Amino acid sequence: MDWLYLSVCKSIQLLCDTSCKRRTAITFELTKLLSLLLYPLSQGLLLCLFALLLLLFHFRRTAMAALLVAVAWLYLCSTALVADFLMGTLERDFRPRAMSVQGTADAIVLLGGATRGDTHLSTFPDLNAQADRLVYAAALYKAGKAPLVVLTGGAQPGARPEAQLMKEILEVMGVPGRSMLLERNSRNTYDNALYTAVVLNNKNIKRILLVTSAFHMRRAVALFEKQGFDVVPAPTDYQRLVAPRVLPGSLPSVDVLARTTIAIKEKVWFWVYRWRGWL
């Protein structure tokens, strides 16, 4: 009867694991859905919808006020003046350093968020606006700043983990596969730090060069230090351009709206992580 007992135990464990994974997936999807409320575009559209409802109930003055607020908010968030200011508050504490004076470590930890994923009819994964992270991690490795590169990033069900996608790109850049470790389970920055600690603690690695976008560095450093790492920040992907703009910074742009959205999300998530006790 021992086999029957073991079979029942394994079945119960499998059900629990499956249930846990489903809860994790639901929580992640719900978090992503709620994060849409942080987007200026979503906020503007919701205000427009609110204004429409007010018009239906004949509250014309309030409806016009809500509509003006929506338009003004979208306009401000779409200007370089606002985007550069918000990004500046996130980047100013993490200045770029010349490669010659950049510190060394036992490993380079590259955070995910630099790829969009696999696309139809594509040979390589598609990169996004944060792809500077991949370039800088490769440059650090080739400069001899660390002998190991840890790639951290998971994926939604049915997609390849971002760690695997980044590995393919880094191999094209000349980083050998034997020098890379993959962490394939993380879905956010908290997971990045938690699961990377699991990978590196077995190798007794504590000093790391942390590669991510400069606007993301404050939250990332705090999370990895919480896991006991000696973190050397290696920021990249700075958002404010040096060259003068062709068009005035007061004119709205879709690209600028995206940068403002990223900055707002980063500021909000920093305080959410702090409230949850992760920092």
- Residue 118 sits in a domain whose CATH number is 3.40.50.620
Per run of 10 residues, the mean pLDDT along the chain (length 279 residues) is 38 39 49 73 92 91 94 96 95 92 95 90 88 96 96 89 95 96 92 94 93 96 96 94 78 93 94 90
Q: Residues for the chain: how many in total?
A: 279
Q: Given this model, what pLDDT does residue 28 score?
A: 52
| Residue-range definition of the domain harbouring residue 114 | 100-238+267-275
Q: Given this model, what pLDDT does residue 23 score?
A: 42
Taking a C-beta distance cutoff of 8 angstroms, is the pair 138, 170 a contact?
yes
- What is the total count of domains within the chain? 2
**Residues 104, 126 within the same domain:** yes
Euclidean distance between CA atoms 192 and 149, whole angstroms: 14
Taking a C-beta distance cutoff of 8 angstroms, is the pair 130, 217 a contact?
no
**Residues 178, 57 within the same domain:** no
Q: Given this model, what pLDDT does residue 6 score?
A: 36
Whether 211 is in a domain gets the answer yes
**Residues 104, 59 within the same domain:** no
Whether 127 is in a domain gets the answer yes
Taking a C-beta distance cutoff of 8 angstroms, is the pair 150, 137 a contact?
no
**Residues 199, 229 within the same domain:** yes
Whether 244 is in a domain gets the answer no
Please report how the helices 132-142 and 162-172 are oriented relative to each other, as an axis angle in degrees rounded to 10. 60
**Residues 44, 105 within the same domain:** no
Q: Given this model, what pLDDT does residue 202 score?
A: 86
Euclidean distance between CA atoms 167 and 212, whole angstroms: 16
**Residues 105, 223 within the same domain:** yes
Q: Given this model, what pLDDT does residue 3 score?
A: 37
Residue 163, classified by CB atoms within 10 Å of its CB into exposed (0-12), middle (13-18) or buried (19+), is buried
Whether 245 is in a domain gets the answer no
**Residues 160, 61 within the same domain:** no
**Residues 39, 84 within the same domain:** yes
